[in-house]
Amino acid sequence: MYSVQTTTPEGLPIPGVFVPQCDAEGQYTPQQCHGSSGHCWCVDSRGQERPGTRTPPGTPSVDCSRPGEAADSS
């Protein structure tokens, strides 16, 4: 595991930095979304992106609760 700097030395948020979403137990939530780009994707329990699940802004997200689900490529 590694840490990512998300704030400036003054404590202000760094624009454009992706901050992973976690649940109350500190585990990665199955769906991650980047607030600046609008892309969303599914991750495994280690926070690694599941191939074929990234969706661009304005499109329906993949159901990350379904392990074999992938983004529609049509």
Alpha helix positions (H), 4-65: none
What is the CATH architecture of 20-59?
Irregular (4.10)
- From the centroid of its chain, how far is CA 35? 9
For residue 12, what pLDDT is reported? 78
Distance CA 69, CA 16 (A): 28
pTM higher than 0.85 for the full model? no
pLDDT in tens, 39-63: 999 999 999 999 999 999 999 988 9
Distance CA 60, CA 46 (A): 24
Residue position matching structure tokens 């304005």: 58
Q: Over the range 16-34, which residues count as b (16 or more CB within 10 Å of their CB) and which as e? A: eeeeeeeeeeeebebbbeb
* Mean pLDDT taken over the chain: 85
Domain boundaries, the chain: 20-59
What percentage of the chain has pLDDT greater than the value 90?
54
pLDDT in tens, 3-12: 667 778 888 7
